[in-house]
Chain A
C-alpha cells in the first residue's frame, strides 16, 4: 500500500516519488516512454513532472498522449514549467506576463488537458519584476489554467521575497519548490529546506542520483573517469 504525502499545505496527495519525464521523446523514444509511464503507474506513482523545454515540447506531448490513452488525467498530479527559450522569437523566454501567457497555452495544448496542477517558474528572471510574474501566475490560477504556482532553482531569499509579495498583494503563492538535492549536493540543507519547512512548502527535489554520480559506477575497482 502506497503511503502518499501531502504537497505542502495544499491537501494534494502524491506518491513519495515523482516521475520526471525529461527523457520522454528524447533519449527515450515513444515506445520506451510509454513502457516507463506504465511501469511507474503500476508502482502507484501518481505524480509526473515535465517542462515546456524538455525535448522541444515532446516530453509534454507524450505525457499528454499517455494520459489520454489511459484516460487517467484526473487521477494524476502533473507539473510543467516556464522560463526557458521555446522559440526563435526574442520574447519566447523568461517570466514576463507576455511569455507566461503564451507558455501556458502552448503547454496545455501539448499536454491535452485544461489545467496544470503545479506550474513552475523554471529559473530566476533578472529582467522581470517579480510582482508582474506573481500577478500573471495568479491570473492563471483564477482562470483555472494552473492550480498552484511553484518555483524551481531560485535562491531562498528570492523565494522568501516572493512569499512576502504574494501575501501583501493577496496573490496565490508558490506552494511547491524544486531544488537540486542528493548525497553529493547538499547545499539545499543550508537555507532551502529549512525555509520549506518553516513556510510549509512542498519539496520535489531533482537529481537524486547526482547526474549518475551515485549509481555505483564510481565504486572500488571501477574507473573513476567520467563517461559523460
Chain B
C-alpha cells in the first residue's frame, strides 16, 4: 500500500532533501517531520505511531523542537506546494498558516 501511496518520484526527492536538511541542522528527521506538522496552526495534533519504544522516542522528540516561522518556511520549501483549488497559480498566496 505504501509503495503505491508514495510511489511518485518527487516524493523521493523531498525525502532526500529533507533528510539532508535535518542532518545539517543536527536534528532527528523523525522529530523534525512531526514538528513540522505540529507547527501548522490548522492542526490540533499529529498522530504519531511506532512499532517500538525506540521509534516512539523519535516522534515524541517533536515536543522538544522549537519551530520558528523561518525554519518552518525553509522546510516547507523543500516540498511542493499544491496548486490552489481554483488552479489559478498566479493568485496563489501564502495561506494564513504559513
B residues whose Cβ falls under 8 Å from a Cβ of A: 2-3, 5-6, 10-12, 14-16, 18-20, 22-23, 28-30, 33-34, 36-38, 40-53, 56-60, 62-63, 75-76, 78-85, 95-97
Known pairs A208-B36, A215-B29 / 12 extra A-B pairs, C-beta < 8 Å: A17-B47, A18-B45, A23-B51, A32-B53, A39-B57, A181-B43, A184-B15, A196-B42, A208-B34, A211-B5, A212-B2, A219-B29
A191-228 with Cβ < 8 A to chain B:
191, 193-194, 196-197, 202-220, 222, 224, 226, 228
- A182 partner residues in chain B, CB cutoff 8 A: 33, 37
B interface SS class:
helix
A167 contacts the other chain (Cβ, under 8 Å)? no
8 pairs across A/B with beta carbons < 8 Å?
A2-B63, A14-B45, A40-B60, A189-B81, A197-B97, A214-B30, A216-B19, A218-B12
Tell me which of B3, B46, B79, B82 contacts A18 (CB under 8 A).
Answer: B46
- A219 partner residues in chain B, CB cutoff 8 A: 15-16, 19-20, 22-23, 29
- A28 partner residues in chain B, CB cutoff 8 A: 50-52
The interface centre, meaning the residue of B12, B34, B60, B78 with most chain A CB atoms within 10 A of its CB, is B60
A183 contacts the other chain (Cβ, under 8 Å)? yes
Docked-complex contact B44 and A210, CB < 8 angstroms: no
- B75 partner residues in chain A, CB cutoff 8 A: 183
Can you list, as one digit per residue, whether each of A115-151 has a CB less than 8 Å from chain B (1) or not (0)? 0000000000000000000000000000000000000
A5 contacts the other chain (Cβ, under 8 Å)? yes
